[in-house]
Structure 1
Amino acid sequence: MSVLQPVRRHVPNDHSCLFWALAYLGEGGECGRAKAQELREVCAQEALKDPDPATRALLLGFDSVELYATWIRNEFHWGGENEVLVLAKHYGLEVAVVCCESMQVLCYGSDHPGCTARVYLLYTGQHYDPIVFGPDASVPVDQEQKRLSKGDTSLDSGATDLARQHNVEAARKASQRRAKKIKCGGCGTLLSDAEAFATHCGEVEHDDDFAYECEEVEVVIEGDEALPEGTLDLNSDNVQTFTNTGVDPLSNAFPAPVTIGGVSFPSLEHYWQATPFLGVSDEVAKRIASAKSVDEAVMIAGGAGPAAQRPDWRDRRRELLLEGLVAKGKQCPAFSQALQQTGEKTLVCLDADPWGGMQAPGGIPTGQNNVGKALMELRSSQL
């Protein structure tokens, strides 16, 4: 006879995973949302029928059992220890919950007279999955064993190994760095965004069949792997990052008045928001310059729309940005001092704007960082 091994089965990762998992173990086969809702109702009725509703409500952490019943019927609310106890009784099962966080096996329902068998759940701290048994991990569903004898703890160690494996895999994924890239359909080059892809298409010669195809792909770098060549490591000691929040003197939003072209702006960000409209929509630019806050300036610029912008805006924006930074350097001592104190570090503006800054939600920086590059150019010219 083959030695049984614990095998993790997966149920949907939603707010009803506990109900899916216990239905799988208690009834077998797949269960749908209707079954999950049915088990929620079992929990609600168990509370509503309690002969001592006040004490039951107190134990449940609610002001009344009616409030609990309403809460648990909501499919967006998770099940937990209270529901495990009720459903263990409902199915006549001893439910062994293997906790990935504590690496312990907690048992529920053993003291109920109707309990006849033992089942296992894996609890990650956020999700429940059923554990079944078979000769190896490839055991087919129709040959797996879902139940052991009540009180049989012989496979606790193996079930705990599943928790340990989960923790190792979770740690590996947590150390991964990910980024969305645009992959050129002609040559396979990975670009940071759509604008970079458009530039690539204009600069790189492809074959005659190339029709400007591209696709979004996800780049995954394991924790012990080096970042791709040319990728900035934002955690490096040689990199200094800042956000455009107005706190750092390097940021455009820093509240330092600057006069450019005879027009006074409360901050360089006001100027930057006005640059697309200078010379073509002067009334919009004037309103931006008079805005009481950066947020108001951004809203005015966004409301004006592309039609009001100067036609050469995209081609001249780097030049206009540098012009503004030069003026800020001459008129704001705090900015000049902060810039010189960066030494030879690579400056990176952390911003959602892919042209002006960079961001790294998955650990791999993307974006052109033109604000950071312009700052470094200005710093070099001042040496």
Structure 2
Amino acid sequence: MRLKLKSSNGVSTITLDESTKLFKDFLADIRENIDLHQDISEVVSSIKSGFPPKPIDLTYTVDTKLDEKNIKDGDQLLIEFSTLKRKSISEAPLSPRPLEKKPDLRDDIPATYIESIKKYLILRNIPDDNSCLFNSISYAISGSDSYNNVSPPEELRNVVVNYIEKDPELYSDLILGRPRNEYCEWIKKKESWGGAIELGILADWFNVRIVCIDIESGNFIRFENEKESPGKFIILIYSGIHYDVLGMNSELSLENKSSDVAQWSIEDPHEEDILTASQKLCKQLQSKDYSTNTTTFRVRCLDCYSILVGEMGASKHAEETGHLNFGEVKKS
């Protein structure tokens, strides 16, 4: 079920499972939707649907389902909020949900709070050392420091090479964009960046679904072996030139990474909550210009200091000179 929500402050399109969603949880989600309002002390005072708009009864029991309120797929709902005023116990009306303290968020740590789990979903920055794809996957699978010991990038690069060598039909010169032996030698080098081919191979190797979020487009791209039906999923963030990973923690901190959970069961009852939180975090990163346009961004060759434009410019320079060390030129 897709619904379009409109308030005086903004618009939000959401997707729900109408067969299981409780109306009380639906109201709570609206209240926490920062696209519709910013003040969490406000409560939902009115929901209207149809044309002309008619109010929906906001009273409910614990078991009231969303579809019992005659809300249908494709509906546009008009939402109004009001501030909950403190009253004496004798005159205080029943509110859709008790007031709760808003969890603290910090400007220096990109994160969002998952109310149903009572934990933060946090962007964990991976070192910018040309192995960020491999290190992000290691972080998610084996822990925050695993790429320094448990599964270092050179081992995962060798996994990629073994897959390519075993299946010349699937990983042909055409698919790889160059002769297979050249590609294998290239990807083994620590300066070489991984991409979609490596994501697909490592998803199969670890038997996991890799959900990769492209910040610029907001698209969720999934890599998995559909025949094997993986039981776990991880979430990577792709800025255009760099991969980071999402971790979940009860503490919002840059230090306490060892207690991160960055791998979840596909059958987890909170899977949708985690993906929705990822989408909110993606919007945050978009607003902070976290992505890099790979067509127009400028890079500097760290071998000869030439300034190049876009991924094509860098690739052409690498072919002509053999230089493989690049760094982005930041805007002043």
TM-score w.r.t. structure 2 length? Answer: 0.47
Rg: which structure is higher?
1
Q: Which has the higher contact order (CA 8 A, sep 6+)?
A: 2
Higher helix share: 1
